[in-house]
Amino acid sequence: MVRDSARDAILDAAQAVVLERGAAHVTLDAVAERAGLSKGGVLYHFQNKDAMLSALVDRMVRTFEAMVAEKRTSLGDDPQRTLEAHVEAVFAMGDQMNDAACAMLPALASNPSLLEPLRVFYRDHFAELGASKVGFPQAAVVSLALDGLWLMDMLQISPLSEDDEAHIKQMLLRLATKPVAKSFSAS
């Protein structure tokens, strides 16, 4: 993501502190020092540490959304291919994003209000799944599988080889593009 303001510089510094020391060690002073600003300069943009961490989570979500949008554009910008783009984006995420997300887990667990940007993302994402050409239930299964794969990768607990992941990606892409059942009813 291109750094276009002091606010972004502060978030870059906050992410660096999270990656280097963990979310528990993120303080306004540590971020100010890392950003080359005064604490007052940080407080000008964020009223407190939680506001800064929430903005960092929001930026991570927006970065992922931009990846999905880029993949969707490469697929012809068809709204019905958003799920396919989502699959491609999850498999394209870099270690730095996973590492930052993992390092943020303690802060997110201790302050659930920081999860609001993720709540909004998932609300919107699941609303979009209805437009998928495979229908909501199948699209939801693909999305939930992606989240499971991402979580295992982020926590570095995945037993899957690169070949396994490549095969799973191909299967998820098929599931994202071809309906497996004509009808589905939840009982």
Angle at 1 between CA 55 and CA 98, to 5 degrees: 70
Residue 164 pLDDT more than 90? yes
Task: Categorize the per-residue pLDDT at 2 as very low, low, confident or very high, splitting at 50, 70 and 90.
Answer: very low
Distances (CA, A) of 48 to 27, 44, 45: 9, 10, 9
pLDDT of residue 78: 83
- Are 161 and 134 in contact by the 8 Å Cβ rule? The answer is no
Distance, in Å, from the CA atom of 133 to the CA atom of 142, rounded to the nearest integer, reads 13
Q: Which backbone phi and psi does 158 adopt, to 5 degrees? A: -70, 130
- Can you give the pTM of this predicted structure? 0.84
Tens digits of per-residue pLDDT, 27-49? 999 999 999 999 999 999 999 99
Q: Is the pLDDT of residue 183 over 70?
A: no
Q: Does the pLDDT value for residue 186 go beyond 60?
A: no
Per the CB < 8 A criterion, the answer to whether 86 and 143 are in contact is yes
The C-alpha atoms of residue 86 and residue 58 are separated, in whole angstroms, by: 18
More confident residue, 77 or 166: 166
Reduce the DSSP state of residue 86 to 3 states and report it: helix
In this predicted structure, the answer to whether residue 9 has a pLDDT above a threshold of 70 is: yes
